[in-house]
Structure 1
Amino acid sequence: MDSQQPTLHGSIVTLLPLQQEHAPALLRAAQDGQLWQSRVTNIPGPDTVDQYLATALAGRQAGTVMPYVIVQRATGAIVGSTRFWKIDRLNRKLEIGHTWLTASVQRTGINTEAKLLLLTHAFETMHAVRVQFTTDELNEQSRAAILRLGAVQEGIVRHERIMPDGRKRNSVRFSIIDTEWEQVRAGLEVRLGTHG
């Protein structure tokens, strides 16, 4: 699997490798909707952005994470973040996660294009055989979005992690495998066509 982290260019978003200097822009994006107050996902806030960045950048240094900021091309603004993580080059698998978008750009096609860019890179450049997604059992919006991508729900992992408030989270696991990629890609391209 390719270990380079390139910038990924789409028609409505660009995915730029996350850098320390993106902290203020990430906080501005998370401010729209006060996203760090969510109980079902971890989004950086004023008190947690430094640790959020440190964890992501340490993962990149270790070769197991490729963190990105999501830039809306029309405005040049950073509107969220996403990453490859749990990168396992021996078994050619990885996870796409830690994805969040500022409230005002949700349901605009930005997430769809960001996922298309990531999945294309995973399957066609990194030659992944499996890409997985994991979300909180309580996060209905995220679960529906992952299914709309064309991923297959595999099951629920009980008490998979402990959330910042101490809750023992059950996580729902989804995947797309290499033999499904062509059909998934076609579906995403059709969906993007509806966003003009």
Structure 2
Amino acid sequence: MSPEVVTAGQVTLSGKRVELLPLRAEHAPQLLLAAEDGELWNMKVTVIPGPSTVEQYIATALAGRDAGTVMPFAIVHRETGRIVGSTRFWKIDRQHRKLEIGHTWLSQSMQRSGLNTEMKFLLLRHAFEEMNCVRVQFTTDELNEKSRAAILRIGARQEGIVRHERIMPDGRKRNSVRFSIIDDEWPQVKAMLLEKMSRAS
């Protein structure tokens, strides 16, 4: 894996197939193209930027970065150099050394391609080994079976369901499923992810 590079107060995380760049306002057109692959903004179980929301989506992420509670990334497919999605650290709590990985999405053509595994590895490694986290959590819609399965595949454990955890843009009261990985589990999860990536390559 390539070394981490710091840009404007936020790291760039580089792997063999994917690079996570600090999200910037000028990424809006490429981010929109990525979401257009599958018209992901029509999904009801998550919030993905569309033509009328992409600028506000990025502005909210950057405001969180300025506040010190969010590190938003653009996901770059290294082979093509294209932005193919977005992810972020958020709910960063430095006192209790915990955070959440969320707002993660990939263009439809990049899903189940192995990019998600490497991306999650890079994020988890940085959280546990550089930020010294004791807990990394994930939250997804109870109805989002694909996301729930993907989170379990990277070694997270389901903790429970948080009822009416948020209200979705269409007004639906969403029940959310919460998962986590803690520092004691990271060595085993890391070994599993490295093995998975080795098989994929």
| TM-score in terms of structure 1 length | 0.98
Paired residue for 2:145? 140
Query: Could you tell me how far apart the structure 1 residues matched to 2:95 and 2:34 are?
Result: 36
One of 7, 12, 28 as aligned partner of 2:33 = 28
Cα distance in 1 for partners of 2:198, 2:111 equals 17
Question: SS at the partner of 2:11?
Answer: coil
- Structure-1 residue corresponding to 2:120: 115
Number of paired residues?
193
| Corresponding position: 1:51 with 2:56 | yes
Is 1:37 the counterpart of 2:4? The answer is no
Q: Equivalent residues in 2 for 1:92-103 (5 A)?
A: 92-103=97-108
* 2:134 pairs with 1:167: no
Shift of 1:50: 1.1
Q: 1-side partners of 2:116 and 2:182: how far apart?
A: 20
- Please report how far the alpha carbon of residue 51 of structure 1 lies from its aligned counterpart in structure 2 after TM superposition: 1.1
Shift of 1:194: 2.1
Q: 2:54, 2:170 → 1: CA distance?
A: 17
Distance 1:194 1:100 in 2: 23
Q: Superposed, which structure 2 residues align to 1:74-85 within 5 Å? A: 74-85=79-90
For residues 129-159 of structure 1, the C-alpha deviation after alignment (integer angstroms, 9 at most, x for no partner) is 0000000000000000000010000000000
Report how far residue 122 of structure 1 moved: 0.1
1:195 aligns with 2:187: no
Counterpart amino acid of 2:53?
A: T
Which amino acid is the alignment partner of residue 18 of structure 1? L
1:103-124 CA-to-partner distances (Å, cap 9, x unmatched) read 0010011000000000000000
The one-letter amino acid paired with 1:64 is: T
1:70 maps to what in 2? 75
Q: Secondary structure at the match of 2:171?
A: coil
Cα deviation digits, residues 19-42 of structure 1 (max 9, x gap):
000000000000000000000000
Q: Which amino acid aligns with 1:144?
A: A
Percentage of identical aligned residues: 73
User: Which residue is 1:150 aligned to?
Assistant: 155
**Which residue among 11, 20, 33 is the counterpart of 1:6?**
11
Q: Please report the RMSD computed on the Cα atoms of aligned residues, expressed in angstroms.
A: 0.5
For structure 2, the residue ranges without an aligned partner over 5 or more in a row are 1-8
Alpha carbons 1:108, 1:195 under 8 Å: kept: no
CA distance in 1, matches of 2:13, 2:109: 22
- What SS does the corresponding residue of 2:69 show, helix, strand or coil? coil
